[in-house]
Amino acid sequence: MKLFDGQGTKDIGKPWRFEEDGLTVTRGCAWSPPGCHPTGCGIKVYTNDKGELVKIEGDENHPITNGRLCVRCLTMKDYVYHPDRVRYPMKRSRKDRGKDKWERITWDEAYDIIAEKVAYFKEKYGPESILIMGGTGREGGPMLPAYAHACIGTPNACYTQSGYSCYIPRVAGTTYVLGATYPEMDYAGGLPGRYDNPEFTIPELIVFWGKEPLPSNGDGLFGHAAIDMMRRGAKLMSIDPRANWASTRAEWHLRLRPGTDAALAMAMLNVIINENLYDEDFVSRWTYGFEQLAERVQDMPVEKAAEITGVDAELIRDAARAYATAKPAQIAWGLAIDQKSNGVQAGHCILALQAITGNVDVPGGQLIGDVNDGLELGFGWNNLGPELQSKIMGIKEYPAYVGLVLNAQCDMVLEALETEKPYAFKMGIFEDTNLLAGTCAAQPKRWHDAMANNLEWSFGIDVWMTPTIQACCEIFLPLSTTVEHDTVVYTHYGASPIMAGAVNKCITVGETKGDCEIMYELGKRCMPINFEKYKDYYDFLADYRLGYKQTFEELRDEVVHQKTETLSYRKYESGKLRPDGRPGFNTPTGRIELFSTMFQQFGEDPLPYYMEPQLSPISTPEEFQKYPLVLTTGARTYCYFHSEGKQIPYLREMNPDPLIEINPKDALRFSIVDGQWVEVENPFGKIVLKAKVSQIVKEGVVHAQHGFWFPEADCEEPVLYDVWRSNINELIPHRYIGKLGFGAPFKCMICKVSPTDKSWDTDMQKVWERFGKLVIEK
């Protein structure tokens, strides 16, 4: 079957559901759970006449993924029928927190208890005393503010990562500098015929800056699109202290010291401006503050940046020239930009690179959404009213953060949980987050102690019993997987004009429900004002996720809807980026603000600058004598998504133990051998990890895996699935953030690594005995 016809029109070939070899095949798009970014990979789900899942294959008709699937989807059957999966609502008493004393209840009983508690805490302490915390990757992530505002009626939603250092510092830069949510690298995702569409241009150069998209598919970017474009002639550049698949195929690999991205970017701007390699027409017509930017980057000559970053000066010059002269060129920038207190400024620099080279909103450059595309924010906010809106934590101290994402400032939230100032949180909600397991929260033991001791009552939503819910909750609501519910996935949380996909229900397991369905049903009880207009769940879905542009049933029949109706290029010329319809960008000046008037308004420097990490060889040389390695964390793996997947034996076989990568020269220096367990320590904590001696990391740098817990261990306190043993986030400090509240040093800390004679090797035979047998609940 052809994927495209001669005119570039998609040949779907099969309906969304059909019969084949005695099995029912349902086409759809995967999202969550299991966790992944909203890439919406195409899947074909095979079920038998008993309604049981038989197998999953990639859907070759999907216009973007073309049948390609990662191992997490391919092991879906092991996930769906896992013996440890929670299939029914459960409850326990407050005095039994941390103990395995759960009992099964009905959904009605669970909803009644929750609604009663919500009403009680609102009446006694005020709606602001209710705190809802969410995770990433799962469907519930972008729903977090809506869960708080529309469903529960509290202003306080919180993604619990210090400086909300996941995507948001980049989004802050793009919103305040560019006036659009996020300029993704253009991979023709929304165009019929994709790369063969005449509107598209294959980029001459793809830059991966602190991003390795093949295992991560970050924020909806299908990483293998880069391979597709490489096959069509695109060259690669990698800016990353680690070696990875992309860097080994790249013509330029800049292995900078973690945390020094802004210095490198300023030096590249210095070269491009001083050598007159910028797009003079675009700069003069569509940017603001070029002269001030040109003056600022003189503070970062190439030789100075080379000394700071550890990258050869000539390589910096070559990379700058290569990017400036490639037409078009694109940059995919990742968490390494967010996860430092200087992250917003690093993002500002990268936006400036994209802008002055004329690569914004052009085919094969950086694709941005129009004025109607945006993050999933605002549902229920207006019905809170001005008084309650003003109580969202951090709005006075960090307005650029809180006002942007309608989240409470997370560092202030932890301090309020500990001190009850400026007010106390009394009820907690854990929506799709395992924050104690080293996924997002800095110093998670502090979060554990504050929540377990000071929250009077809580409930959690998940597929599994996690350390977080076991420690903190009285009610457990069981979540359905991506093959067990109807919902919608859209790339980049709706902020980029690429695609929307139908997540189609294929099977039923226990009494589980999806995130959207839980929010709808609970919202009708707790905040009916926001839900009474909907006739049923599918009407809610059509509005909340699709904006009534089509019904879910229409999307289901289509399976994948490429956003051809909103995808266009050079929208700044046609007025599609501004609500008033005038040409330009949606900023105060109507231009890309290289000199940011918004940053200036918030009391921040309006121009980008470099700031050394708070703990580093340069800023704290005495501390670096004690802790002589630069620590970066959290590079993605193919088998896990954050803490997800540790109980799936096939996945655990691939990566059974939490690893720390160390360069062979450093291993020799500290008497460490490959496969040895080591103590990793810095001023904030000490854990153990297994050493992987490898050239993957540059000398002087170590990389530690994140999100490790041990589902086979004792679930009760104080062991709590052994969650503290290898929890790298214990070494990441709280509130080491930027002036506007963004960014924290998850990828640029310091540490020492010492060998130990002990071993904590995972016994995979026991893991298989515990988790390997599939239990099909009929």
Task: Kindly report, residue by residue over 356-404, the tens digit of the pLDDT.
Answer: 999 999 999 999 988 877 666 789 999 999 999 999 999 999 999 999 9
Residue with more model confidence, 684 or 547:
684
What is the spatial distance between Cα 393 and Cα 398, in angstroms, rounded to a whole number? 9
Pairing of strands 749-755, 677-682: antiparallel
Residues 6+ apart with CB under 8 A from 560: 29, 40, 42, 62, 63, 64, 499, 500, 501, 502
Q: Residue 758 belongs to what H/E stretch? A: none
**Mean pLDDT computed over 513-517:** 96
C-beta of residue 42 within 8 angstroms of C-beta of residue 560: yes
Q: Which of 260, 221, 236 is nearest to 349 (CA)?
A: 260
Please tell me the pTM assigned to this model: 0.96
In angstroms, the first-to-last Cα distance of the chain is 36
In the sheet where 17-20 sits, what is the strand order? 17-20, 23-29, 42-47, 53-58
600: number of CA atoms within 13 Å, CB side?
A: 10
What is the spatial distance between Cα 756 and Cα 185, in angstroms, rounded to a whole number? 44
Encoding tokens for residue 731? Answer: 């070494």
CA distances to 285, 572, 574, 590, 615 from 581, in Å = 17, 10, 8, 11, 47
What is the spatial distance between Cα 143 and Cα 154, in angstroms, rounded to a whole number? 14
pLDDT digits (tens, 9 = 90+) for 123-152: 999 999 999 999 887 887 788 999 999 999
C-beta of residue 209 within 8 angstroms of C-beta of residue 235: no
C-beta of residue 425 within 8 angstroms of C-beta of residue 413: yes
Give the sign of the dihedral formed by CA 501, CA 502, CA 508, CA 511: positive
Residues 6+ apart with CB under 8 A from 678: 660, 672, 688, 689, 690, 691, 753, 754, 755, 756
Q: Residue 201 belongs to what H/E stretch? A: none
pLDDT digits (tens, 9 = 90+) for 737-765: 999 999 999 999 999 999 999 999 999 99
Residues 6+ apart with CB under 8 A from 311: 254, 255, 256, 264, 305
CA 627 to chain centre: 29
**Phi then psi dihedrals of residue 489, to 5 deg:** -115, 135
Helices 444-454 & 410-419 angle (0-180, nearest 10): 50
What is the spatial distance between Cα 239 and Cα 229, in angstroms, rounded to a whole number? 19
Predicted confidence (pLDDT) at residue 775 exceeds the cutoff of 60: no
Question: 29-43, 302-316, 474-488, 676-690: which has the minimum mean pLDDT?
Answer: 29-43
**Mean pLDDT computed over 679-692:** 98
Predicted confidence (pLDDT) at residue 3 exceeds the cutoff of 70: no
C-beta of residue 140 within 8 angstroms of C-beta of residue 147: yes
CA distances to 89, 511, 750 from 105, in Å = 5, 11, 47
C-beta of residue 539 within 8 angstroms of C-beta of residue 532: no
45 pairs with which residues across the strands? 26, 56
Q: Domains of the chain by range and CATH? A: 1-81+485-512+533-565 (3.30.200.210), 90-159+386-479 (3.40.50.740), 168-370+578-601 (3.40.228.10), 621-771 (2.40.40.20)
CA angle 160, 163, 167 (to 5 degrees): 85
Question: 250-264, 365-379, 536-550, 618-632: which has the minimum mean pLDDT?
Answer: 365-379
